[in-house]
Amino acid sequence: MSPQIIGVIGLFGLIFLTFIRVPLGAAMGLVGLFGYAAIDGWDTATIVLGTTPYDLLVYSFSVLPLFILMGVVATESGMSKELFAAASAIFSGRRGALCMATIGGCAGFAAISGSSLATAGTFTQICVPEMRKYGYDDRMATGSVAAGGTLGILIPPSVIMVIYALAAQESVPALFAAGLIPGLLMTVLFMVAIWITARLRPEWMPIAPRMPMMERLKSALAMWKLAILFGFAVGGIYAGLFSPTEAAGVAAFAAIIIAVLSRSMTFSAFVEGMMQTLRTTAMLMFIITGAWIFSFFIVQTQLPLAIVDLIQYLQVPPFAVVLIILSFYLVLGCFLESVAIILVTVPVFLPIIQSLGFDSVWYGILMVIMVEVGLITPPVGLNIFVIRAQMPDISLGTVYKGIVPFLLADATLVGLLIIFPDIALWLPSKLF
């Protein structure tokens, strides 16, 4: 049996194990181990199994728990509430102001959280009750939270971008820089979608009272915590002061100091935050270990090279290949968590993208956006179920209707990035 056939069998085996709810790290590790053994024998396979966990004990991976800790401390200390209050004051007096404030708050929180599910879950508790209080339609209330949550993995510092960088052996600073302009552009497009919807359906979004200018300025100044953390986590990297790991460590320490000085986090909340960081890090490292074994197997099968040869034989246009791959990500995003999607697909798709002459940083940003879109796309969409779990009186159909304007905004951004790659690549080219 040829290595390529073994590779195809391995991919279908991985899909099967995933759908019967075998933990992803175990599924990838098992498929990689047995597949590697089928190609090179058990002696080589057991060597890979024994050495991979130690190969991952490297300095570059320590960035993950540090960024996770920063996001957890920011969540536990109530920074999300302060961000929403500030954004509400800034946008007050406009139709759809609270929806715009939700997007703005999510964008700000994304800069210190790095997780879509955490952002959506946190802002569901804060924003939806407030919007209901002012008579907002549930469709826009939940839709804006679901869409705003997706900003958590695009605006740096993003844990997902770090994982992609490690899997693709790309520069973390370059990916952070590449994600900044698309992240801000997506925030603007979401607000434009809200503005257009407010004009078409004014009854969905009443006008909230306008706050005095001094109150708005005071609320804006209250975002100093966000500015400090973003400055350490991302600004230090862009300025060349810190490596990504150093920036993550300084930002995590700064988050703890800010929480202590502002007395916004109890000791029990701090302990729970540390435990949550440990649990999340352990889960990620288990998945990454399985993914590394799986990637060794995929390399041995030479399956990506076979796919490249097939594409060249069929003379498929490069951009058509990109669109097919992005569509595949959209489907996967409906069912799998973003970390799983990246670790499963990068070993297969990245060599294809590189062989077609596309930039791997540009591809990484596109991939992250498509994973985002999958988080709010029916029939599943994990962000939607996070909202549904916290607001059980709101039907899934209501949330699905509310995300339509934001899906159109996402499609617009993807189109712009495909037509104008420099939206993502200009800033990295200037900084690095």
pLDDT tens digit sequence for 286-301: 888 888 888 788 878 8
Cα of 170 vs its chain's centroid, Å: 17
The pair phi, psi for residue 94, each rounded to 5°, is -110, 150
Q: Which residue has the higher pLDDT, 328 or 87?
A: 328
Q: Can you tell me the mean pLDDT for 389-414?
A: 86
Cα separation, 317 vs 314, whole angstroms: 9
Q: Which pLDDT band holds residue 20 (cuts at 50, 70, 90)?
A: confident
Closest listed residue to residue 31, CA positions, set 13, 57, 56: 13
User: Is 417's pLDDT higher than 90?
Assistant: yes
| Domain carrying residue 354 | 3-431
Cα of 420 vs its chain's centroid, Å: 22
User: What integer best gives the mean pLDDT of the chain?
Assistant: 81
User: Is 317's pLDDT higher than 90?
Assistant: no
pLDDT at 335: 64
CA distances to 13, 14, 15, 23, 268 from 20, in Å: 11, 10, 9, 9, 37
Q: Which residue has the higher pLDDT, 264 or 140?
A: 140
Q: Can you tell me the mean pLDDT for 397-426?
A: 90
User: Is 379's pLDDT higher than 70?
Assistant: no
Cα separation, 396 vs 376, whole angstroms: 11
Return the percent helix, strand and coil in the chain, to nearest 5: 80, 0, 15
In three-state form (DSSP H/G/I as H, E/B as E, the rest C), the secondary structure along 180-212 is HHHHHHHHHHHHHHHHHHHHHCHHHCCECCCCC
Q: Can you tell me the mean pLDDT for 29-54?
A: 83
User: Is 120's pLDDT higher than 80?
Assistant: no
- Write the pLDDT tens digit of every residue in 245-257: 888 888 888 888 8
User: Is 416's pLDDT higher than 90?
Assistant: yes
Q: Which pLDDT band holds residue 347 (cuts at 50, 70, 90)?
A: confident
pLDDT at 425: 92
* 377: three-class secondary structure by DSSP: coil
- Write the pLDDT tens digit of every residue in 134-159: 788 888 888 888 888 888 778 887 77
pLDDT at 182: 92
Q: Which pLDDT band holds residue 423 (cuts at 50, 70, 90)?
A: very high
Work out the burial of residue 12: count CB atoms within 10 Å of its CB; fewer than 13 is exposed, 13-18 middle, 19 or more buried: exposed
Tally of domains within the chain: 1
Cα of 263 vs its chain's centroid, Å: 30
pLDDT at 215: 67
